[in-house]
Structure 1
Amino acid sequence: MTMEKKLFFVAAVFLNFTFLSCERDTKLYQTEDEEVINDEGNAESHDNSDDYTWDNTSEIPVLLNDNSIVCNAIGVSIDESTLTITSAGTYNISGSLSNGQIIVDTEDEDIVRLLLNGVTITCSYNSPIYVRNAEKTMIVLQEGTQNYLTDGITYTYAESDDDSNASIYSKDDLTIYGKGSLTVAGNFNDGITSKDGLIIESDLITVNAVDDGIRGKDYLIIKDIELTVICGGDGLKSDNDEDSSKGYISIETGTFTITADGDAVSAETDVLIAYCEMNIISGNGSTGSVYSTTSMKGIKANEIISIDNGIFTINSTDDAIHSNGSITINEGTFEIASGDDGIHADADLDIIGGYINISKSYEGLESAQGNINIYEGEIFVISSDDGVNVSAGSNSNRPGGTKSSTSYSLNIYGGYIAINSKGDGLDSNGAITISGGTIIVSSSELSDNNAIDYDGSCVVSGGLIIASGTSRMNQAPSTSSSQYSVSITFSSTQKAGRMIHIESTDGSQILTVKPKKSFQSLVVSSPDLKKGTTYNIYQDGSSTGSEENGLYTNGTYTAGSKYSSFSISSMVTYVN
């Protein structure tokens, strides 16, 4: 990528985020009693570097002894197998409880640290660890230790405590940190829940829950972790819907394995991923029924999804990546199989780079009320409907929906895009602009779909476009383009895999291609097509070149039978 392109891409992303931040009335300052708001419009977390350091000599030892607890500190109370911490401090906890509970309930403004030093707690009647009240609580998993928390299938509540619903439950800000391991069983409802903010930075955590796996209501921030979540609800969740600066999920790095009956990752506002390796199964995978009252998406947000990099394997019943706002993918490797859309944004969808392989989808890439901008990257789509779709202006993106022109557009600046679709290949209810890249489309064999379908204009100024499909509704690029195109309509339907070759009369090769589906039309736009030059079209024959997605490169073509000839005299040449 040239430096000019890089600067353009950065500027485009900056403008996109600026617009969305303005929409959400975000602040970049702090006044008295207000929380700091960061550049994405999200409230700053409760994280503080001082939380991670303490004087070891000040640790308060706590011994869990099956049905009893030993602790001689002043700031605690013990009732058989229940420990209630009423003073801030650092508590070094070891041992096990067969049916007990640790409660944090303090008015102190300092942090409460619970150092889990090989702890096993089973609580049949409530949360094994319950933060009722605290300025901030940190659970520290001591290095080299294994820790286990299990709740029961029913809870018994005191009059004032009727909302705890997770094995680890906090009404206030909570951090889980350390180089030990933690295994959590949420048999009643959730695995880990904070009603405020939740930060997790730990080596190894496993959660198995009947409902949501991990929930931070105000925000969920996860760093440097190996995390496994199996749950009957959502895997990772932040759902504050009363404050537009909250309800976000931020992932900085880690390895995630999430199997969720609902959404694997679900944020009320934003999902921000710097880097992670994520393996997701949501719902019943791509073979499940999309038509359900339960949302079964892979990664979902209501505002922004921003993925800077990572390795993602997503098998989802509903959309694999879905935002009711915008999506930006800067880099990353994506292996996607979806029962619905591969990547769906209600607003703009920006792909700056990366490798995206959508092996199964209803529609591969879709924007419902915005633009799709593809700058660089490798994109492969197999879809049962449209491959890439800017659907604004359509009453329905399902069969039978009506369409009308819109101001939104599909813009392709570069990259490598290969589409194998049962519907339209490239579809925009507005305009299409293409200025670079390689685009190969094998579209529907049905006569009511196009390889290229647009309601406004399709302006081509660069790149290589090869689009095969039916002839009934065939569309070529617009005459306002600055790069020459040819639209070939064959006298009969050509079988899938039939070789087509185009070269000039002096032997300069334009392309050799074998479309993946049967076809009667072939649209080609190439910078090698020159005005005033005559070209021959051949069928069959052979090529010594390397084939990828039906296109042969770097080889010698041995001629089959000549089909027709044409000369370039205008921006679009039609061959019938």
Structure 2
Amino acid sequence: MKILSGLIRYSLLILLFSACITIVSCSKSSSGDNPVTPPVVSTTKIETATETTGTPEGSTTDGANADDLVEGSSFTSTITITMGATATISPATTTGVTITQSNGDVLIKSTATGVAFVVTGTTTNGSVKIYSDKKFELTLNNASITNLDGPAINIQSSKRAFVVIADGTTNTLADGATYTPFGSEDMKGTFFAEGQVVFSGTGTLNVKSLYKHAIVCDDYIRVRTGTINVTGAISDGMHANNAVIIDGGTLNLTASSDGIEAEKGNVIINGEH
């Protein structure tokens, strides 16, 4: 399902109206001395129009899932990553978590349960890439990340990612026009995730893509709260394979293709928006 702009309200009105007009004429005689036979015009028949009210299109489900509530999960370990020419990791070590960096790119590998990552700081050519065996929380706290050869945030995990846009903060993510491939991994946009992504918090997230989609997920995307501005995307503003669910927040999407697209499922907008 695709949404090209803001609030969509569905109504279906089928109006059946048919008219049949038949005009038959006789040709003019080739002899100028013969009288012209006037054309014969049939009467017009107009059938009575009928009106039928249909059922609105789309799913009536609200996509509710208690597992999407970040407040229902416990994250007991917090790791802060301050981006820069060289990122600072605090604490430097955490059981079950390995963090390495190269040329501004931060690589996280986690097998631990209940880990929260906080990303802050600025880089003009770096990224955060996450492999995780467990669900995790990712807080964007005045983070500004531009990656010239791939996603700014690259979540290569099928587990749920709770993305918290920290209250009172402005965060910016951008990519470059070309990506450097990494094996067979998907990298389809500035913010990319393999698993479910749930956005919350009341801060602002600005995303721009010069490569493809701005925010893209191979599972589903849910927005609970927060302001998300897609300032430009070569393809879709927000793209998911299975569903896009909007419970609240503010979305301002500028995209060359669809504002929001769910390839195999529904776009669900709950409440009054």
How many residues are aligned here?
214
Determine the C-alpha separation between the residues in 1 that align with 2:249 and 2:69.
21
- Percent of pairs identical after alignment? 21
| Alignment deviations for residues 157-214 of structure 1 (CA, whole Å, 9 cap, x no partner) | 11122x3111111111111111110000011111101110110123311102111001
2:241 to 211, 217, 239: 217
Greater mean alpha carbon deviation, residues 65-74 or residues 190-199: 65-74
Distance change (3 Å), C-alpha of 1:228 and 1:94: same
Contact 2:81 2:87 in 1 (8 A): no
The offset of 1:47, in angstroms, is: 4.9
Distance (whole Å) between structure 2 residues aligned to residue 139 and residue 49 of structure 1: 11
CA distance in 1, matches of 2:251, 2:85: 28
Q: Distance in 2 between matches of 1:116 and 1:94?
A: 6
Query: Quick one: which amino acid aligns to residue 105 of structure 2?
Result: T
Q: Which has the higher contact order (CA 8 A, sep 6+)?
A: 2
Note the alpha carbon deviations across 1:418-451, whole angstroms, 9 max, x for none: xxxxxxxxxxxxxxxxxxxxxxxxxxxxxxxxxx
1:188 counterpart (179, 195, 211): 211
1:107 positional shift: 2.1
Please say if 1:167 is aligned against 2:190.
yes
**Is the contact made by 1:222 and 1:252 (CA closer than 8 Å) also made in structure 2?**
yes
Q: Paired residue for 2:82?
A: 63
TM-score when normalising by structure 2: 0.71
Aligned to 2:200: 177
Correspondence for 1:204? 227
Question: Take 2:66 and 2:193, find their aligned partners in 1: how far apart are those partners?
Answer: 16
Where 2:225 maps in the other structure, the secondary structure is strand
Moved beyond 4 Å, runs of 4+: 40-47, 53-57
The one-letter code sitting in structure 1 at the alignment partner of 2:125 is N
User: What residue is the counterpart of 1:239 in the other structure?
Assistant: 263
Listed one character per residue, the Cα deviations across residues 520-576 of structure 1 (whole Å, up to 9, x for unaligned) are: xxxxxxxxxxxxxxxxxxxxxxxxxxxxxxxxxxxxxxxxxxxxxxxxxxxxxxxxx
User: Deviations for 1:317-355, whole angstroms, at most 9, x for unmatched residues?
Assistant: xxxxxxxxxxxxxxxxxxxxxxxxxxxxxxxxxxxxxxx
Letter in structure 1 aligned against 2:100: I
Alignment of 1:91 with 2:117, yes or no, is yes
Q: Within 5 A, what are the aligned runs for 1:29-428?
A: 40=59, 44=63, 47-48=66-67, 50-52=69-71, 58-71=77-90, 72-74=92-94, 75-80=97-102, 81-87=104-110, 88=113, 89-108=115-134, 111-161=135-185, 163-207=186-230, 208-240=232-264, 247-253=265-271, 275-276=272-273
Indicate if the aligned counterparts of 1:126 and 1:155 stay in contact, CA closer than 8 A.
yes
- Displacement of 1:233 after TM fit? 0.4
Alpha carbon RMSD of aligned pairs, Å? 2.6
Unmatched segments (≥5 aa) in structure 1: 1-11, 22-39, 241-246, 254-274, 277-576
Distance 1:47 1:101 in 2: 31
1-structure distance, mates of 2:81, 2:89: 6
What residue ranges of structure 2 are gaps of 5+ in the alignment?
1-51
Work out the CA distance in 1 between the residues paired with 2:176 and 2:146: 8
Preserved CA contact (<8 Å) 1:64 1:96: yes
How many Å separate the matches in 2 of 1:95 and 1:54?
26
Query: SS of 2:84's equivalent?
Result: strand
What SS is found at the alignment partner of 1:63?
A: strand
Deviations 1:35-66 (A, max 9, x none): xxxxx476956552652356676322222123
* Contact 1:69/1:83 (8 A) holds in 2: no
Quote the Cα distance in structure 2 between the aligned partners of 1:202 and 1:195: 21
Summarize deviations over 1:443-488 as a string: whole Å, max 9, x none.
Answer: xxxxxxxxxxxxxxxxxxxxxxxxxxxxxxxxxxxxxxxxxxxxxx
Q: 1:143 to 1:168 in 2, by over 3 A?
A: same
The CA distance in 1 between the partners of 2:106 and 2:61, in whole Å, is: 36
| Matched AA of 2:206 | T
Cα distance between partner residues in 2 of 1:113 and 1:168: 15
Q: 2:10: which partner in 1? A: none
Q: Secondary structure at the match of 2:224?
A: strand
**Distance change >3 Å, CA 233–CA 47, structure 1 → 2:** farther
Q: Secondary structure at the match of 1:86?
A: strand
Q: Is the 8 A contact 1:112 1:134 kept in 2?
A: no
